[in-house]
């Protein structure tokens, strides 16, 4: 069967779009149910995001949000592709952002020039994220503790450490004229340069470049390296991977460390590009990342679209207030979309598998193959662990 | 795997083995009680066994235990349910809305029904559509968060609440075992062991919310249904070996649905407890990860009702201490933790697990050092304590845990 056989790629490519249509339909039903006109809601959302007056500022904001979402989702997706569930991006990125932010503002770094300091901040964040994820990896490899549970527990522990360190006794300072405790403000030469955008004075995070690089690195690592091949093989069929010489323990540790290192970057676009200090409100992107990774089917480009879609929905929720529609409708749209994408993905994979089996059946003279138990090449992949 | 489970049975008849296990367990509990009492005398941290602390511990344990029971029902049927958190969130809304609309008992029912609907969705995704269990669970938690806010904005806005909060809900009756008033006097005396027992008994048997009693009863009921009925055997067989179950004529899909829907109802009940009993109000985010903790208690309870109940009590206890002069109480508890770790170390050395033994000794020394170098523990660490304990317990005991053999694995009828 050729690689470009339509049975193989068409269903799985179409599935996300069908799913989004289904999600839009369900959201419309919800809106109609609460006595609102879905068409007006959607068009005012689009108007707010891309219209002449509010469009430019909205688009910058969406790009900036999507940058953060993208990094978080890639961190999750790296684990997903090998069947590891890093639910702990939340804890990893919060600790990483806090320590990197405090490090970047530390006085002993004063003689270091800004650009080098930015690099150091990024390195510290990646190391901290990887270390926190590494605990879960070690527990999994040496003590057999499921990473799902350990990363969830580590989220809570990380949250406590974050709250403990971000006090005036340790890493925090009170900003003048405010009661909020934050890390000291980064020196101005450590602020990341940003890009202008036509028709608005809002600026696009410079970190978007790094997010694109991370996406490219993710694609290259998975699709073009031996490591990536081993990783995907371990995700699709761990037994077969081990039998063909993949060191499962090493793979788990390496994957978790990489995932954690990328997770460490999640807090940096906001830190280096907008806030220049870590506040207690640096939170919540970890779970969003899981949803977006699922939505983007773990594919580097798919995740980018998913992150933009998510950012669009997040940005335009405020406009719903003007239409007297509860903002919570957006959260329902987002989660229904994720569920629809996941279910459609599974159905598409099943459909494509059956079509492939049919065609093999025809080719071998068995025309009545309904549901053979023998898996055909390329059919062993299942559900969300698979990329599109 | 089969040989492993059969091995103890070959050594001694099951009844004898069970009696021996029970005796050992009772001995451990008694020892722990003596140790805690000694710690209380030495440190003067009276809240370790006060009536208030024990009843707060029980109240904190109930939602966690109900979520854990929910996890048990689902995973025994072979479906990993990480959506417990979401089903609990639905339960908190359902409980508050039901209680405001139909009275407190209506709230209990509504909480369970809302949770069950979440379970139904999870079953639909995982059993019918074969979606990965973790993925579906995460998505359901996400959906539940939004749905609860959305529904709350309709249900509570006109009656003095809003999307994130409900008005105060009517409360359930409270029950006490009569004739225990005299225990208060004994508790006041501060006698070694006797006063501790008085505090514990009084805390555990008086001023109980009706839902607490129901939750406690549900633990043995779950055991009896799952391990002593044909229904339970069939349900568990779907979690152990669905193909074998199928070959014996069990409708695996249907039993998985039963397990996951009951699981959702139990988690929803836990949510209803939070909004009706614990807080008397629905508030966004009030589950605070208890669904996940319930899952953790089920795991270190080794997928057994008794184990998860003790896990829930452990969590509830640290949770409750936190609220009652937490920094001092948990500081005193460090001494107890050091003692327990030392005992574990002795056992591990005797069994020849040198590495685990050394780690335990090191942890015990660390706890001791911490106790003597400080006067109290920062409140953030107190809050993290249950999670750290879970991680340590899992790290030390994970190899001895055995989850249902086909837990989390996809199953299609007629394939294989």
Q: What pLDDT shows up at residue B181?
A: 75
Contact flag A336-B150 (C-beta cutoff 8 Å)? no
Partner residue facing B131 (CB), from A143, A290, A342 = A342
**Chain B: nearest CA to A236, how far in angstroms?**
13
The reported pLDDT for the residue numbered A309 is: 92
Q: Cβ B125–A347 below 8 Å, yes or no?
A: no
* DSSP 8-class letter at B162: B
Candidate from A144, A157, A159 with C-beta closest to B398: A144
- Interchain contact, B410 vs A382, CB within 8 Å: yes
Pick among B385, B398, B413 to test the A interface (most A CBs inside 10 A): B398
Whole-angstrom CA distances from B315 to B103, B290, B368, B383 are: 30, 10, 22, 11
Mean pLDDT of A15-29: 85
Annotated domain spans of chain B: 46-311, 325-399
CB contact (8 A) between residue A149 and residue B381:
no
Instruction: Note the pLDDT tens digit of each residue in A95-126.
Output: 999 999 999 888 888 888 888 999 999 999 99
What distance in Å separates residue A8's CA from the closest CA in chain B? 19
Tell which wins on pLDDT, A114 or B304. Answer: B304
Q: What is the pLDDT of residue B67?
A: 96
Q: Taking Cα atoms as reference points, which of B139, B93, B103, B115 lies closest to residue B282?
A: B93
- Say which residue the tokens 């003279």 belong to: A365
What is the least distance, in Å, from the CA of A318 to any CA of chain B? 15
Other Cβ atoms closer than 10 A to B399: 12
pLDDT of residue B154: 83
CA distance A275 to A55: 23
Tell me the pLDDT of chain B averaged across its residues.
86
Q: Which of A156, A314, A325, A381 to mutate to test the interface with B (most CBs of B within 10 A)?
A: A156
| Chain segment A346-366, per-residue pLDDT in tens | 888 888 888 888 888 888 876
CB B126 within 8 A of CB B79: yes
Other CB atoms within 10 Å distance of the CB of residue A261? 24
B209's enclosing H/E stretch is strand B208-209
Q: Inspect the interface and report whether the beta carbons of B296 and A153 lie closer than 8 Å.
A: yes
Q: Which range (A5-14, A287-296, B53-62, B257-266) has the least confidence?
A: A5-14
Q: Looking at chain A from residue 264 to 293, which residues have their Cβ under 8 Å from any Cβ of chain B? A: 287, 290-291
Q: At what angle do helices A38-50 and A6-33 cross, to 10 degrees?
A: 110
| A and B: number of Cβ contacts within 8 A | 140
Residues of A in contact with B381 (CB under 8 A): 160, 164
**Residue B175, SS3?**
strand
Q: What are the chain A neighbours of B246 within 8 Å (beta carbons)?
A: none
> Which region holds residue A277: left if phi is over 0, alpha if psi is between -120 and 50, else beta?
beta
- CA of B297: which chain A residue's CA is closest? A149
Q: Which two tokens stand for residue B113?
A: 């029904």
Q: What's the confidence (pLDDT) of residue A379?
A: 38
Q: Do A346 and B131 touch (CB under 8 A)?
A: yes
**From residue A379, how far is each of A348, A382, B130, B243, B278 by CA, in Å?**
12, 8, 15, 21, 50
Of B82, B138, B381, the CB nearest to A164: B381
User: Inter-chain contact B395–A143, Cβ cutoff 8 Å?
Assistant: yes
What is the pLDDT, as a whole number, of residue B349? 87
pLDDT value for A4: 62
- What average pLDDT does range A335-356 have in this prediction? 84
Mean pLDDT of B372-398: 80
Assess A332–B contact: CB distance below 8 Å, yes or no.
Answer: yes
Of B230, B338, B277, B315, which Cα lies nearest the Cα of B111? Answer: B277
Which ranges constitute the DSSP H helices of B44-132?
51-76, 84-102, 104-123
Q: Quick one: average pLDDT of A206-233? A: 93
Cβ-proximal residues to A225 (8 Å cutoff; 6+ apart), any chain: none
Mean pLDDT of B349-361: 85
The pLDDT, as a whole number, for residue B378 is: 81
**Residues from chain B contacting residue A382 (CB–CB below 8 Å):** 130, 132, 410
Angle of CA points A200, A205, A210, to nearest 5°? 145
B398 to A145: CB separation less than 8 angstroms, yes or no: yes
A379 touches chain B (CB under 8 A): no
Chain-chain contact of B142 with A371 (C-beta, under 8 angstroms): no
| CA B324/CA B47 separation, integer angstroms | 7
**So what's the pLDDT on residue A381?**
38
**Mean pLDDT across the stretch B178-187?**
77
Q: Are B256 and B238 in contact (CB under 8 A)?
A: yes
Q: How far is A152 from chain B (nearest CA, A)?
A: 7
pLDDT of B288 over the 60 cut: yes
Q: What's the confidence (pLDDT) of residue A375? A: 43
CB < 8 Å to B287, chain A: none
Q: Which of residues 209-268 of A touch B (CB under 8 A)?
A: none
Among A148-157, B177-186, B377-386, name the most confident range. Answer: A148-157
Contacts of A34 in chain B (CB under 8 A): 154
Question: Nearest CA to B139 among B154, B153, B118?
Answer: B118
- Is A368 a residue whose pLDDT tops 60? no
CB of A384 within 8 Å of any CB in chain B?
yes
Instruction: Report the alpha-carbon distance of residue A343 to residue A153 in Å, rounded.
Output: 28
Average pLDDT, whole number, for chain A? Answer: 85
pLDDT of residue A367: 54
Q: Does B140 or B44 have the greater pLDDT score?
A: B140
Kindly state the percentage of chain A with pLDDT values over 70.
92
> pLDDT tens digits, residue range B305-318?
998 998 898 888 87
- Give the mean model confidence (pLDDT) for residues B324-347: 82
Inter-residue contact B158 to B277 (CB < 8 Å): no
The dihedrals phi and psi of A200, each to the nearest 5 degrees, come to: -155, 155
Answer whether residue A377 shows pLDDT above 60. no
Domain ranges of chain A: 64-316
Classify residue B223 by burial, with Cβ atoms within 10 Å: 0-12, 13-18, 19+: middle
Given this model, what pLDDT does residue B11 score?
Answer: 54
Cβ B20 vs Cβ B12: under 8 Å: yes
Angle, CA of B248, B251 and B254, to the nearest 5°: 155
A313 CB within 8 Å of a chain B CB: no
Which residues from chain B sit within 8 angstroms of residue A148, using beta carbons?
A: 82, 134
Tokens representing residue B191 in the block: 């006698």
Residue A370 is predicted with a pLDDT of 52
Question: What is the Cα B411 distance to its own chain's centre?
Answer: 28
Whether pLDDT at A130 is above 60: yes
B142/A149 touch (CB, cutoff 8 Å), yes or no: no
Q: Is the pLDDT of residue B281 over 80?
A: yes
- In chain B, residues with a C-beta closer than 8 Å to the C-beta of A347 are 129
B211 to B168, B218, B277: CA distances (angstroms): 18, 10, 8
B146, B292, B296 ranked by CB distance to A331: nearest: B146
Å from B279 to nearest chain A CA? 22
Please state which architecture CATH assigns to domain A64-316: Orthogonal Bundle (1.10)
* Total-model pTM: 0.86
pLDDT for residue B119 is more than 90: yes
Q: In sequence order, what are the residues at sequence separation of 6 or more whose Cβ sits closer than 8 angstroms to the Cβ of residue B262?
A: B70, B73, B74, B116, B119
Given an 8 Å threshold on Cβ–Cβ distance, is A331 in contact with B295? no
Of B320 and A165, more confident: A165
Predicted confidence band of residue B2 (pLDDT cuts 50, 70, 90): very low
Residues of B whose CB is below 8 A from A156: 289, 384, 387
CA distance B143 to chain A (A): 5
Report the distance separating Cα B307 and Cα B318, nearest Å: 17
pLDDT grade for A2, boundaries at 50, 70 and 90: low
Whether pLDDT at B66 is above 90:
yes
- The residue-averaged pLDDT of B49-53 equals 80
Strands A181-182 and B208-209, by their bridges, are unpaired
Do B331 and B318 form a contact (C-beta atoms < 8 A)? no
pLDDT for the residue B17: 82
3-state secondary structure A166-225: CCCCCCCEECCCCCCEECCCCCHHHCCCCEEECCEEEEECCHHHHHHHHHHHHHHHHHHC
For residue A384, what pLDDT is reported? 37
pLDDT at B224 over 60: yes
CA distances from residue B26 to A317, B29, B213, B302 in whole angstroms, order as listed: 57, 5, 23, 19
Average of pLDDT values for A307-335? 85
C-alpha distances in angstroms, B15 versus B104, B228, B233, B302?
A: 43, 15, 19, 20
pLDDT over 90 at A18, yes or no: no
Least Cα separation, residue A59 to chain B (angstroms): 25
Residues 6+ apart with CB under 8 A from A244: A233
pLDDT at B416: 58
Ranking A153-157, A217-221, B61-65, B180-184 by mean pLDDT, the lowest is B180-184
Q: What is the mean pLDDT of residues B287-302?
A: 86
* Disruptive mutation site among B90, B150, B403, B408 for chain A (greatest number of A CBs within 10 Å): B150
CA separation for the pair B271, B162 (Å, rounded):
18
Look at A156 and B289 and tell me if their CB atoms are within 8 Å.
yes
> In the predicted model, is pLDDT for residue B235 greater than 50?
yes
Number of separate helices (H) and strands (E) present in chain B: 17, 2
Identify the weakest region by mean pLDDT among A214-223, A346-355, B230-239. A346-355
CA A259 to chain centre: 11
């Amino acid at each position: 069967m050729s690689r470009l056989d339509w049975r193989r790629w068409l269903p799985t490519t179409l599935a996300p779009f069908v799913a989004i249509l289904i999600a839009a339909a369900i959201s419309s039903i919800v809106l109609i149910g609460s006595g609102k006109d879905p068409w007006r809601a959607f068009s005012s959302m689009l108007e707010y995001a891309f219209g002449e007056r509010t469009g430019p500022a909205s688009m910058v904001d969406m790009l900036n949000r999507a940058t953060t979402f993208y990094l978080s989702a890639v961190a999750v997706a790296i684990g997903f592709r090998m069947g590891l569930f890093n639910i702990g991006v939340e804890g990893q990125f919060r600790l990483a952002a806090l320590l990197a932010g405090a490090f970047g503002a530390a006085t002993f770094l004063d003689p270091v020039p800004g650009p080098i300091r930015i690099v150091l901040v990024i390195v510290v964040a990646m190391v901290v994220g990887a270390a926190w994820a590494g605990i879960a990896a070690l527990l999994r490899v040496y003590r057999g503790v499921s990473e799902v549970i350990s990363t969830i527990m580590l989220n809570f522990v990380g949250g406590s450490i974050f709250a403990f360190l971000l006090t005036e006794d340790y890493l925090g300072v009170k900003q003048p004229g405010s009661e909020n405790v934050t890390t000291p403000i980064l020196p101005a030469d450590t602020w990341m340069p940003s890009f202008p955008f036509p028709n608005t004075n809002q600026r696009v995070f410079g970190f978007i470049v790094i997010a694109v690089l991370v996406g490219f690195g993710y694609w290259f690592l998975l699709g073009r390296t031996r490591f990536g091949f081993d990783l995907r093989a371990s995700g699709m069929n761990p037994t077969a991977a081990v039998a063909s010489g993949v060191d499962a323990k090493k793979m788990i540790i390496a994957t978790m460390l990489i995932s954690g290192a990328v997770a460490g970057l999640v807090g940096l676009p906001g830190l280096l590009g907008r806030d220049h200090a870590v506040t207690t409100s640096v939170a919540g992107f970890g779970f969003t990342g899981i949803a977006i990774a699922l939505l983007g089917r773990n594919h580097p480009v798919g995740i980018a679209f998913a992150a933009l879609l998510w950012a669009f929905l997040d940005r335009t929720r405020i406009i719903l207030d003007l239409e007297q529609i509860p903002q919570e409708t957006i959260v329902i749209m987002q989660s229904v979309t994720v569920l629809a994408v996941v279910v459609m993905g599974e159905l598409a994979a099943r459909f494509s598998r059956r079509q492939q089996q049919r065609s093999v059946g025809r080719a071998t003279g068995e025309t009545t193959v309904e549901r053979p138990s023998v898996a055909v090449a390329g059919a062993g992949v299942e559900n969300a662990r698979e990329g599109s | 795997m089969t040989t492993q489970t059969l091995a103890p049975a070959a050594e001694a008849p099951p009844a004898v083995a069970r009696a021996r296990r029970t005796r050992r367990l009772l001995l451990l509990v008694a020892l722990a009680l003596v140790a805690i009492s000694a710690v209380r005398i030495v440190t003067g941290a009276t809240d370790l066994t006060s009536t208030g602390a024990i009843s707060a511990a029980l109240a904190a344990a109930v939602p966690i235990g109900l979520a854990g029971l929910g996890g048990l029902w689902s995973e025994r049927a072979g479906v990993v349910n990480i959506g417990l958190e979401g089903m609990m969130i639905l339960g908190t809304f359902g409980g508050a809305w039901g209680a405001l609309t139909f009275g407190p008992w209506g709230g209990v029912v509504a909480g369970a029904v809302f949770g069950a609907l979440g379970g139904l969705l999870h079953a639909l995704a995982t059993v019918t559509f074969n979606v990965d269990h973790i993925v579906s669970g995460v998505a359901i938690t996400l959906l539940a968060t939004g749905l609860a806010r959305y529904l709350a904005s309709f249900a509570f806005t006109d009656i003095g609440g809003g999307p994130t909060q409900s008005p105060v809900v009517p409360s359930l009756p409270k029950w006490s075992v009569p004739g225990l008033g005299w225990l208060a006097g004994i508790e006041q005396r501060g006698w070694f062991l006797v006063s501790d027992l008085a505090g514990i008994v009084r805390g555990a048997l008086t001023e109980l919310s009706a839902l607490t009693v129901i939750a406690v009863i549900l633990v043995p009921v779950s055991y009896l249904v799952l391990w002593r009925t044909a229904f339970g055997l069939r349900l568990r067989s779907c979690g152990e070996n669905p193909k074998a179950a199928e070959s014996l004529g069990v409708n695996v899909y249907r039993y998985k649905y039963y397990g996951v829907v009951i699981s959702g109802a139990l988690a929803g009940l836990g949510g209803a407890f939070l909004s009706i009993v614990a807080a008397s109000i629905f508030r966004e985010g009030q589950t605070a990860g208890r669904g996940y903790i319930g899952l953790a208690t089920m795991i270190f309870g080794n997928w057994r009702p008794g184990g998860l109940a003790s896990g829930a009590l452990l969590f509830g206890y640290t949770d409750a201490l936190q609220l009652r002069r937490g920094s001092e109480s948990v500081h005193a508890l460090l001494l107890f933790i050091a003692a327990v770790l030392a005992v574990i170390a002795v056992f591990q050395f005797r069994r020849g697990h040198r590495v685990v033994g050394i780690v335990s000794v090191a942890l015990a020394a660390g706890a001791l050092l911490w106790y003597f170098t400080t006067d109290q523990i920062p409140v953030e660490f107190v809050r993290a304590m249950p999670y750290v304990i879970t991680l340590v317990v899992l790290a030390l005991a994970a190899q001895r845990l055995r989850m249902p053999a086909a837990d989390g694995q996809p199953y299609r009828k007629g394939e294989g």
